[in-house]
Structure 1
Amino acid sequence: MPPALPRPVAPPARGRRRALRWLPLLAVAPLPPMSHATTDALVHAAARGDLAALRRLLDGGAPIDGRDARGRTALLAATQADQVAAARLLVERGADVNAQDQQRDSPFLYAGAEGRLAILRLCLAAGADLRATNRYGGTALIPAAHHGHVEVVRELLRTAIDVNHVNRLGWTALLEAILLGDGGPAHTEIVALLLAHGADPERADAQGVTPLAHARQRGQAGIAARLEAAGARR
């Protein structure tokens, strides 16, 4: 038989008690998760433009891209309320300009659609995804053209955004400017900008109707003239 191993010698009782006293100090308690209330407070502070509250919450560990019940981040709330200073602070702290809520709005997409030019520029500088699409499958350029936001369209056309992107309705930015615009000076200028940046003047909608045909049907003579000058024949 192999020789018996020596039995371990227990430390003296006094030593055991001394070691046990140190165990609570060696254990590290997990940090409690941030509550929904903290995220909601951050989103509400952004919507109010309360910079002091934003700094306090962020410095206290509030997740900068935490979401409220609607899936909105603080930056999206600031964008919706056109709180430029709050948006700038959040972008400088690293907020995600492409985070989409339950309606597929993101700070970048919403800024484009609603004409928030200053915030749009912040988003572009922070790496906005030019290929991101909204709930209609459109890029930021398409609703900007629809709503007549000339300077937003001009800013987006300085980027590599796809001027001929087609949304789920079968419309490009050019078609949407004609179909949903009023044919006035803003939409006429937007059509001119789109054409100057490579918009296809003859790309038809899902029913085969061209931009020129739509413009003529709506009595948009100025837009029709620009389409014809760009080579549209039908």
Structure 2
Amino acid sequence: MDQAGRTHGADQLATAAARGDLEEMRRLLDSGVDPNAVNSFGRTPIQVMMMGSPSVAELLLQRGANPNWPDPHTGSLPVHDTAREGFLDTLQVLCRGGARLDLTDQWGHLPHDLVPESNRIHLVNYLKTLED
């Protein structure tokens, strides 16, 4: 596949992940699209996925997506985004899939630093259990 084909596949997979379209994601992954392919905006599917859909994260991780690839503009990881937005189910999937909680974004924030800003105590409690 040439560069244009790879970019097109990466864009399609990222779009499907952002929409939470599992069927399209499976089709694209089965056809050989790399789960870590960078789209035309410099982001991977796991970085732009529908955060409130743990099954999207699960599929990407099962197919080899790297949960610790920082966003090129903010340094945020998917765990930062899920913590900030309060998606406990997706955060749990990412953690089981190897997401690191000790990496900071460009402002020096760890995922647990972002939770109090959104006032979601269930996330704080979950993250504390991982730290113990």
When normalised by structure 2's length, the TM-score is 0.88
1:45 corresponds in structure 2 to: 16
- C-alpha contact (below 8 Å) 1:87/1:119 kept by paired residues: yes
1:15 corresponds in structure 2 to: none
Could you tell me how far 1:89 is from its partner in structure 2? 1.1
CA distance in 1 between partners of 2:106 and 2:68 (Å): 14
Could you tell me how far 1:109 is from its partner in structure 2? 1.5
SS at 2:49's partner residue? Answer: helix
Percent of aligned pairs with the same amino acid: 29
- C-alpha contact (below 8 Å) 1:112/1:141 kept by paired residues: yes
CA distance in 2 between partners of 1:105 and 1:32 (Å): 30
1:141 to 109, 112, 123: 112
2:63 corresponds in structure 1 to: 93
Could you tell me how far 1:75 is from its partner in structure 2? 1.3
Give CA deviations for 1:206-226 in whole Å, capped at 9, x if unaligned: xxxxxxxxxxxxxxxxxxxxx
1:71 corresponds in structure 2 to: 42
Q: Pairwise CA RMSD of aligned residues?
A: 1.7
When normalised by structure 1's length, the TM-score is 0.52
| TM alignment of 1:1-234, pairs within 5 A | 32-33=2-3, 34-80=5-51, 82-102=52-72, 103-160=74-131
The alpha-carbon distance between structure 1 residues 70 and 60, as it changes in their structure 2 partners (threshold 3 A), is same
Contiguous gaps of at least 5 residues in structure 2:
none
Q: How many residues align?
A: 130
Give CA deviations for 1:52-75 in whole Å, capped at 9, x if unaligned: 111111111111011223332111
Which amino acid in structure 2 is aligned with residue 44 of structure 1?
A: T
CA distance in 2 between partners of 1:152 and 1:71 (Å): 29
Could you tell me how far 1:105 is from its partner in structure 2? 2.0
The structure carrying a bigger helix percent of its residues is 2
CA distance in 1 between partners of 2:100 and 2:131 (Å): 10
The alpha-carbon distance between structure 1 residues 45 and 149, as it changes in their structure 2 partners (threshold 3 A), is same
Bigger CA radius of gyration: 1
Q: Which has the higher contact order (CA 8 A, sep 6+)?
A: 2
Contiguous gaps of at least 5 residues in structure 1:
1-30, 162-234
Runs of 4+ in 1 over 3 A off after TM superposition: 31-34
